[in-house]
Structure 1
Amino acid sequence: MEESHIEDAETQNKLEVAPALISVHPSQKSVAVAVGSDLRVFDLIENCSVTLVDESDGSSHKDSIRAIRYGATGKLFVSAGDDKLVKIWSTDSWRCLNTICSEKRVTAVAISSDDSHVCYADKFGVVWVVELDGILEGKVSPSKKGAQLLSHYCSIITSLEFSPNGQYILSADRDFKIRVTVFPKKPLEGAHEIQSFCLGHTEFITCTAFVSTPEVTQGYLMSGSGDSTVRLWDITSGSLLDTCEVSTVAGHVESNESESPTQVTVTDICTIPNSSLAAVTVQSFQGIFLLSCDMAAHSLSVTKVINIPGESFIPTSISVSAATRLLWMVSGASNLPGSNHPGFSRVQVISCIETESSSILGDEHIPGGTKLLEQLQGKVPIEESVMSAAAEAVRAAMSSLLMKKQYSDEKREFRKRTRNDKKTTQ
């Protein structure tokens, strides 16, 4: 009975609910949304949908996309996920330049500021690196596999970031830690020098981002977690500079002091380029709030909360371009059990995010208008009840994935015997 129960759980994991993701070109030339295995891109310059050209074996993604990202220059775009594929795209032609086959499911990606390397992390805690120098000019032969850069030893890596100057690569995991590693001159030979560890979170880390200003170009690291906090770090020393508790601000903790505080998960952080501000999303909260970092005092504070009225819109991912300062948000999910909408998304945009006059744009005022929305979220209207169910499904899926499970000795031994990589062929 117990073994059957475990097998059922493992089968269900093959259809894990995946949140919708959004990423905006640094100059807002295009916007990309990923829902399940579907990658949708809209060209804001030509005001039309983009046709992706993928001539690699198997072409498009076959399973949920878990990470999408534009490079700092806007020339490259990367998508990766549960199908163990990492696809690197040219944003000029939207042709797939390279498809890398990962050994395990991919959980996070990062692109170096000079577009010379792509790093990706898998569910076993390994970070891999692919050398791309010359790929945009067709000077390199596409590789099929990355080289191992570093490892977190069987801890799911949830976020990857290059430091603003490219000196370090940061990897955060579900075991509450952030590793700061010196990015080597010869990455294909591995990264062997650890600069620091940022330790202080008490639950899994979900997201990281650098906040920097023209005066403080190296900036500081912000991290969000399942412990209801956003924390500020000096990555050189690994020092914790400040902690901002967000659940109270978001209204998730009751005023009754006899009740214990309820933890909520910070799901995404998006820093505003060349400013001390960052937008933050919190699980189950219908809106976003703005954090300000005092660079001199090394402190974090909530400066504004923006509620999204009228519909059950709980952002699952946010992004901003350096050019327009518009904050793009998406809400949605794929693989919803028992739903007529196996995968859907809803896109919203906030203007003037840094000012008191910030506002949520109507559909007709979003860049690209209804044409963009039809491409990124589909033509079928989504009921509020479905959006609410999706938000709860995403919350449960994230908790199941990142909360460390406790097993009895019997269950642990059974899981060891039935590991896929230990099964022998008859």
Structure 2
Amino acid sequence: MEETEAEVAPALIAVHPHRSSVAVAVGCDLRVFDLLAGVGVTLLDDSSSSSSSSSSSFHKDSIRAIRFSANGKLFVSAGDDKTLKIWSSISWRCIFTLSSEKRISAVAISNNESYVCFADKFGVVWVVDITGFDANQPLLDKKPTPLLSHYCSIITSLEFSPDDRFILSADRDFKIRVTNFPNKPLNGAHEIQSFCLGHTEFVSCLAFFQAQEYQQHLLSGSGDSTVRLWDVSSGALLDTCEVANKAGLLESNGNGKSEEHGHAVTDLCTTLDGVALLSHNVSAQTLTLAKVVSIEGEAFVPTSLGYAPSARELWIVTGVSSLPGCSHPSFARVRVISGIDIEQEAVVLEDEKMPGGEKLLETLQGTASVDENVFLAAAEAVKAAMHNLLIKKQYPSESRESRKKTRNDRKLKQ
């Protein structure tokens, strides 16, 4: 049997909502740093063969989604090993491990921390009821239940609206579905509120404004190099910001589309003033490019963002796993941008000025030094990985039957 080439997985980052910790996932490694104590976190997972340091793997394949819950008590990780793990961010013990039928592509936690949802590569969204969980006790006898489906389209992003009224799912086929989240979700979600249609390439990310007066405004990023502003209830497109063109990354080709394999929007996070470095005018319902922050001297292609509201910091990461021909096949590079308010000058912090300093970088990045050539190779690998992640693979007819015979889908017992 031919050895299959390992898939490159972009690095991910998540910041605790109260800035008490920050997590980075690269490949199957999950790394957490306690910003309050100034030390790396030891993760504990009783379902693993042994407990060890934060740089060890508790997933057996690439992690594709990580996130904290709204108040920071829970942390979720999931990915290509078809497992989802729920962690207590107080003890950093895994309190629940769940098996999926397919690889997991996206996760979401309801803001009231009663439900965890995840999407698989087949386009199905599942829900797990965690009502009344105890962060110090393992969750028992919890099984996922199908909630909704996009019918064979890879779901790229899941988000609950701030009031938990809706669950939003975006997919590879340019769609954003707004679904009413029912009172009894274990019976399925059958009422669609709206569709947000307008992107011309895969939808890569979704983000809500947290302020009360903005909660019906959704933002989406896409492979078409745009960020779009939507009214959730009606699905109406309110504004479009062509990020790549306005940032000077692309020359306009006259039809509003980016070049093939162009500058995809990979992630979004909302601040009190806008989205990353876009400005949101609420009354006019428009988006404008406020400023562009460049990281000079590095081939830095951000793969994931995290925002710390209390410190007004934007955390960014680049990195990949399984980088071909590299002596350090999995690596991550973390940077922090301070002063991202519209009125202030954004500054990329030097390593020694970052929260946590060298200890943080050793925990989240590893101790191995990475030269500029590796960054250049990683930048190209990131672009290819984002593209390959969201396209439908074509297999020659002679290999299809063989693949069917060797499939290892896990059938969940209802």
* Contact 1:27-1:324 at 8 Å conserved across structures: no
Confirm whether residue 316 of structure 1 aligns to residue 303 of structure 2.
yes
Letter of the structure 2 residue corresponding to residue 357 of structure 1: E
Letter of the structure 2 residue corresponding to residue 391 of structure 1: A
Where 2:386 maps in the other structure, the secondary structure is helix
* Contact 1:213-1:276 at 8 Å conserved across structures: no
2:11 to 20, 24, 46: 20
* Contact 1:212-1:276 at 8 Å conserved across structures: no
Alpha-carbon offset, residue 219 of structure 1? 3.7
Where 1:53 maps in the other structure, the secondary structure is coil
Q: What corresponds to 1:233 in structure 2? A: 230
Confirm whether residue 305 of structure 1 aligns to residue 292 of structure 2.
yes
> Bigger shift: 186-195 or 205-214?
205-214
* Contact 1:182-1:191 at 8 Å conserved across structures: yes
Aligned counterparts of 1:209 and 1:245: Cα–Cα separation in 2: 17
Aligned counterparts of 2:405 and 2:229: Cα–Cα separation in 1: 39
Alpha-carbon offset, residue 400 of structure 1? 1.9
Confirm whether residue 40 of structure 1 aligns to residue 7 of structure 2.
no
* Contact 1:100-1:143 at 8 Å conserved across structures: no
1:223-278 Cα offsets, whole Å, 9 max, x none, are 011111111111101111111111112322247989x9524211111111xx2411
Where 1:247 maps in the other structure, the secondary structure is helix
Q: 1:327 to 1:261 in 2, by over 3 A?
A: closer
Q: What corresponds to 2:385 in structure 1? A: 397
1:148 to 138, 141, 146: 146
Q: What corresponds to 1:348 in structure 2? A: 335
Confirm whether residue 419 of structure 1 aligns to residue 404 of structure 2.
yes
Q: What corresponds to 2:55 in structure 1? A: none
* Contact 2:218-2:232 at 8 Å conserved across structures: yes
1:110-148 Cα offsets, whole Å, 9 max, x none, are 011011111000100010111111222567842464111
* Contact 2:94-2:138 at 8 Å conserved across structures: no
* Contact 1:133-1:140 at 8 Å conserved across structures: no
Letter of the structure 2 residue corresponding to residue 198 of structure 1: C
1:134 to 128, 132, 135: 132
2:183 to 182, 185, 194: 185
Q: 1:174 to 1:58 in 2, by over 3 A?
A: farther
Alpha-carbon offset, residue 56 of structure 1? 1.4
Q: What corresponds to 1:269 in structure 2? A: 268
Q: What corresponds to 1:292 in structure 2? A: 279
Alpha-carbon offset, residue 11 of structure 1? 2.5
* Contact 1:211-1:276 at 8 Å conserved across structures: no
Q: What corresponds to 2:207 in structure 1? A: 209
Aligned counterparts of 2:197 and 2:320: Cα–Cα separation in 1: 31
Where 2:33 maps in the other structure, the secondary structure is strand
Structure 1 gaps, min length 5: 1-6, 280-289
Letter of the structure 2 residue corresponding to residue 316 of structure 1: T
Letter of the structure 2 residue corresponding to residue 373 of structure 1: L
Where 1:306 maps in the other structure, the secondary structure is coil
Alpha-carbon offset, residue 331 of structure 1? 0.9
Aligned counterparts of 2:203 and 2:135: Cα–Cα separation in 1: 37
Aligned positions of 1:325-336 closer than 5 A: 325-336=312-323
Q: 1:322 to 1:136 in 2, by over 3 A?
A: farther
1:366-411 Cα offsets, whole Å, 9 max, x none, are 111111111110111111110111111121122122134578xxx4
1 or 2, which has the higher strand percentage? Answer: 1
> Bigger shift: 49-58 or 134-143?
134-143
Q: What corresponds to 2:243 in structure 1? A: 246
Letter of the structure 1 residue corresponding to residue 38 of structure 2: N
Aligned counterparts of 2:49 and 2:175: Cα–Cα separation in 1: 36
Aligned counterparts of 2:65 and 2:324: Cα–Cα separation in 1: 22
Alpha-carbon offset, residue 208 of structure 1? 0.6
Q: 1:138 to 1:419 in 2, by over 3 A?
A: same
Where 2:4 maps in the other structure, the secondary structure is helix
Where 1:197 maps in the other structure, the secondary structure is strand
Letter of the structure 2 residue corresponding to residue 32 of structure 1: A
Where 1:129 maps in the other structure, the secondary structure is strand
Give me the identity figure in percent.
60
Aligned counterparts of 1:421 and 1:130: Cα–Cα separation in 2: 29
Aligned counterparts of 1:326 and 1:422: Cα–Cα separation in 2: 44
Q: 1:276 to 1:26 in 2, by over 3 A?
A: same
> Bigger shift: 313-322 or 76-85?
313-322
Q: What corresponds to 1:378 in structure 2? A: 366
Structure 2 gaps, min length 5: 51-57, 410-414
TM-score norm. by structure 1 comes to 0.88
Aligned counterparts of 2:404 and 2:239: Cα–Cα separation in 1: 41
Q: 1:49 to 1:175 in 2, by over 3 A?
A: same
